[in-house]
């Protein structure tokens, strides 16, 4: 959700995201305050990766040492959250370039994967790497087209 909101150029995306995640929690509770601080750190890191000059964004997914099925589920969940965040942001697919639309559709296709009988094969490892790169590029394309601040001449 956060990545999508940042990529769509939502002002105050980090605070909106945290408010959504901590809805119904007691702000006076020390555990909630600690959680809020950790989420703010994660949001700042994510924003730096997406908007920073190095453009080194990578989706926050399970570590490569984890089983393939767990990593695939992580990518599936990340993709669903990204699309949900774009919807919350009011971002419409029609505003994207043709390349952006293709990338967006690729993220949608990840949410249609059948993960029930995923085996640890080399082919599945390769496919997961390719899908992970697809969602990374899709996020960067959305950011380039919708979220990147534009200068006076752009």
CA distances from 39 to 3, 10, 47, 65, 105 (A): 13, 17, 12, 24, 29
Over residues 17-67, the pLDDT tens digits come to 999 889 888 878 889 899 999 999 999 999 888 887 776 889 999 999 999
Distance CA 106, CA 13 (A): 24
Q: Is the pLDDT of residue 153 over 50?
A: no
Q: Is the pLDDT of residue 124 over 50?
A: yes
Over residues 73-120, the pLDDT tens digits come to 999 999 999 999 999 888 888 889 999 999 999 999 999 998 887 888
Find the DSSP H helices in 8-121. 13-21, 30-51, 68-89, 98-110
- Continuous segment of H or E residues that includes residue 3: helix 2-7
Q: Which domains does the chain have, with CATH numbers?
A: 2-147 (1.20.120.740)
């Amino acid at each position: 959700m956060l990545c999508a909101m940042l990529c769509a150029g939502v002002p105050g995306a980090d605070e909106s995201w945290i408010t959504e995640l901590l809805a119904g929690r007691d702000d006076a509770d020390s555990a909630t305050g600690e959680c809020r601080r950790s989420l703010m750190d994660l949001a700042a890191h994510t924003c730096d990766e997406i908007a920073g000059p190095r453009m080194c964004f990578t989706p926050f997914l399970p570590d490569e040492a984890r089983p393939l099925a767990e990593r695939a589920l992580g990518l599936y969940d990340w993709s669903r959250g990204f699309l949900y965040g774009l919807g919350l942001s009011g971002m419409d697919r029609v505003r994207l370039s043709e390349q952006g639309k293709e990338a967006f559709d690729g993220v949608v296709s990840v949410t249609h994967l059948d993960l029930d009988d995923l085996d640890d094969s080399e082919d599945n490892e390769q496919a997961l790497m390719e899908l992970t790169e697809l969602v990374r590029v899709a996020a960067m394309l959305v950011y380039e087209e919708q979220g990147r601040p534009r200068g006076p001449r752009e």
